Structures are given as structure tokens and as C-alpha cells.
Amino acid sequence: MAEAAGKVWHGGDLAQAKALFPEAPEPWIDLSTGINPIPYPVPALPLSLWQRLPGVRDEAALLAAARETYRVPETAGIVAAPGTQILIELLPCLANTGPVVVIGPTYAEHAVAWRKAGMDVRESATPAEAGDAGVVVLVNPNNPDGRVIERAQLTAVARDLAGRGGLLVIDEAFIDFMPEASLIPELPPATLILRSFGKTYGLAGLRLGFAIGEARLTEALRAALGPWAVAGPALHIGAQALSDTDWLAAAAGARASDAARLDALLASRGVIVGGTSLFRLLATPDAPALFAHLGRDGIYVRRFQNNASWLRLGLPGDEPSWQRLAAALASFLPPDAA
């Protein structure tokens, strides 16, 4: 089960699963990400979207849809990028006073990006422990444990940071199904909020993400990205999907049911730490053995570099996958029981 040393682990690459478990039955069931397995239906794409440089009007339509759905205040800025990840890479251009405190454990690439930029980065369990940070970064709801920090607490942190010229970064990648928790509508000063398109809409391959905040922040990111950053098809699909509030509401309900079903399957296998409607985090000392057991059955789940007792599971996308997962979980013999 070797992986490249020094590399940040991620879910979502089945080539890796196949390398780890070459004998596993196909097709693989990929539960290693928090991507909605029932995607927004990809509409027919006019050839011109592929042919032409992405147009200003197409981008404006996408941003208008995002403003509406994310409830972006009129005075705030918004910028679209080819995935949230590249925005994370660019965030260090927005701040030059550290230290950077990442509230974690959380999505590992945040700390990586700030360290790459030469900033001093440390991890705190809560924003209250961030001390004299110049930058506070948190994921809300958090990945992988689903913890939600209340808006009032976030606003206080933002005000505090604004007072000393700092920056609060809130990655709301998994908030679409619980929009009432978003800080966007009351956007505090010195705050930049990231939103991801691909997870909720099940289209992670399309690459689309957003940053929302004071215009000086979003304009700096826009300048760093340069023109035509988002592909034409992504502008088009994103605008259509983000305007489809009926789809979002239906998906929120369906995925919440799925998450409850997953919890029921996992309950006898450990403690469900938390999660969102797109993934659940299981804690058990048997995690390494369960990872291997599921892998040998062709089911790829997410393990963690810094916590060997955690496994994160996304949602199966069809009934046969649910059945295979249920059977695999039922047939697991913990090492000390074997």
C-alpha cells in the first residue's frame, strides 16, 4: 500500500485504488471523495462553447447565477476559477502577514499552499485558539468531520482579523446543501469565502470554483488568473446548474436520505464522527483493516495520513453499489476477532 512519500493524499483517483488492490473485482465503487454520485444532468453543449474563447457574456451569466444562489451581497466581489484548488494556490497573494492558522485537521491543501508561499503555518483546533494569526483558514462545514462553526463566531473572528489587517478564509466547499450556514450573505470585512461547484453538482471533472469577498480581494485573484480562466463548457453548465434551485433542493433531500442510510450501514463498524450529506467520517481502531477489506472488494474509501483510525466514505450512486457496500461491511472480520 505504498504511496509517494511527501505527497498529500486525496481521494478520487481510481488508478491508485487499482494499484493498491490489483486483484479487486471491477467495476470499482469509488467512495473516496465527497462528490455527489448523482450529477447534475450535463446539457447538450453547443460546439461554439468548445470553439470560441470563453466570452465575457458567458462569464457574466455564470457570475450572476452564482451571486443569486450564493446570496452574494451586491457590494461584494466574486471571481470564478477553473476549480477551487487553483484559488487555494493563489490565496497567499492576498496576504503577507502571518502566521497562518489553519483550523484543523482539515483539507490538507490549504496548509500546503501557504507553506509553499513561504508563510509560517500552524494548526489550531478552534478559531478561539488562533491567537495573533495574520490569516485564519477554515473549512465550514469541515472536511472530513463535518463540524460547523456558527456564523456569530465566524463574524467575531473576521472582525478581530480585520482590526489588525488580517484575512479570514472560509472554504464553504460542502455548504451548498445547508445554505443557512453560509457567511456569504452577511460577508464580514477581511473575509474571503470559497465555493466549489463540482462536489454538490457531481461534476468535479469540469473544474469550477468561486471566491467571494471584498472586491479588492476578488480583483486580485482575477488579475492573478488572467483572462479566459474558466472553460466555455464550464461557464455554460455552471450557469445552468446554479440557476436550477429545484434540482438543488431535490438533491439536498435525496443525499440527506443517502447519508442516513450510510450511517445505518456504518453504525456497527465504529463511531460516526460526523460529515455532511456527501460523506461520513467513521472512527475505528480497525480502520486500516477495514480499508484493506473494502479495497479487496473493489470499494475505495478515503484514509488519512495523520489519523490511522479514520475512514471517510462518500455515497454509493446506485442500488447495486449500496448492496456491494452493505455486503462488504457485513463480511468484515475485525483483526482481533479473526
**Contact call for residue 53 and its own copies (CB under 8 A):** yes
Give 3-state DSSP helix, strand, coil % of the chain, rounded to 5. 45, 20, 40
Q: Which of 21, 24, 31, 39 is close enough to bind its own copies by CB under 8 A?
A: 39
**Contact call for residue 89 and its own copies (CB under 8 A):** yes
DSSP conformation class of 42: P
**Contact call for residue 16 and its own copies (CB under 8 A):** yes
DSSP 263-274: HHHHGGGSEEEE
Q: Which of 1, 3, 43, 50 is close enough to bind its own copies by CB under 8 A?
A: 50
**Contact call for residue 232 and its own copies (CB under 8 A):** yes
Q: Which three cell numbers stand for residue 201?
A: 453538482
**Contact call for residue 64 and its own copies (CB under 8 A):** no
Q: In Å, how far are 91, 264, 323, 324, 334 from 327, measured between CA atoms?
A: 44, 13, 6, 5, 15
> In the bound complex, what is the minimum distance in angstroms from residue 202's beta carbon to its own copies?
6
Query: Computed from CA positions of residues 233, 38, 146, 303, in that sequence, does the dihedral angle turn out positive or negative?
Result: negative
Task: Count residues binding its own copies (CB under 8 A).
Answer: 52
Cβ atoms within 10 Å, residue 323: 11
Cβ-based nearer residue to its own copies, 94 or 184: 94
Q: 145 and 309 in contact (C-beta within 8 Å)?
A: no
Q: For residues 207-231, b (16+ Cβ closer than 10 Å) or e, as one string?
A: bbbbbbbbeebbebbbebbeeebbb
Cβ-based nearer residue to its own copies, 48 or 153: 48
Place of cell 466555455: 232
Window contacting its own copies (CB under 8 A); options: 8-16, 140-148, 248-256, 326-334: 8-16
Q: 280 and 104 in contact (C-beta within 8 Å)?
A: no
Cβ-based nearer residue to its own copies, 41 or 335: 41
Place of cell 474563447: 53
| Strand, helix or coil for residue 338 | coil
Q: How far is CA 304 from the centre of its chain?
A: 15
**Contact call for residue 110 and its own copies (CB under 8 A):** no
The residue among 335, 217, 321, 245 whose CA lies nearest residue 287 is 335
**Contact call for residue 86 and its own copies (CB under 8 A):** yes
Window contacting its own copies (CB under 8 A); options: 51-59, 98-106, 130-138, 141-149: 51-59
Q: Which of 55, 179, 274, 288 is close enough to bind its own copies by CB under 8 A?
A: 55
Site string for its own copies, 191-210 (x = CB under 8 A): -------x---xxxxxx---
Window contacting its own copies (CB under 8 A); options: 42-50, 123-131, 132-140, 161-169: 42-50
Cβ-based nearer residue to its own copies, 62 or 272: 62
Q: Which of 48, 96, 257, 323 is close enough to bind its own copies by CB under 8 A?
A: 48
Name the amino acid, one letter, at 261: R
> In the bound complex, what is the minimum distance in angstroms from residue 10's beta carbon to its own copies?
7
Q: Which of 76, 79, 113, 301 is close enough to bind its own copies by CB under 8 A?
A: 113
Q: In Å, how far are 43, 168, 173, 323 from 329, measured between CA atoms?
A: 37, 40, 29, 10
Q: How far is CA 320 from the centre of its chain?
A: 26
Q: Which residues between 258 and 317 bind its own copies (CB under 8 A)?
A: none
**Contact call for residue 219 and its own copies (CB under 8 A):** no
**Contact call for residue 56 and its own copies (CB under 8 A):** yes
CA distance 247 to 180: 17
Cβ-based nearer residue to its own copies, 15 or 337: 15
Interface contacts to its own copies, rule CB under 8 A? 10-16, 30, 33, 35, 37, 39, 42, 47-57, 82-83, 85-86, 88-89, 109, 113, 116, 198, 202-207, 223-234
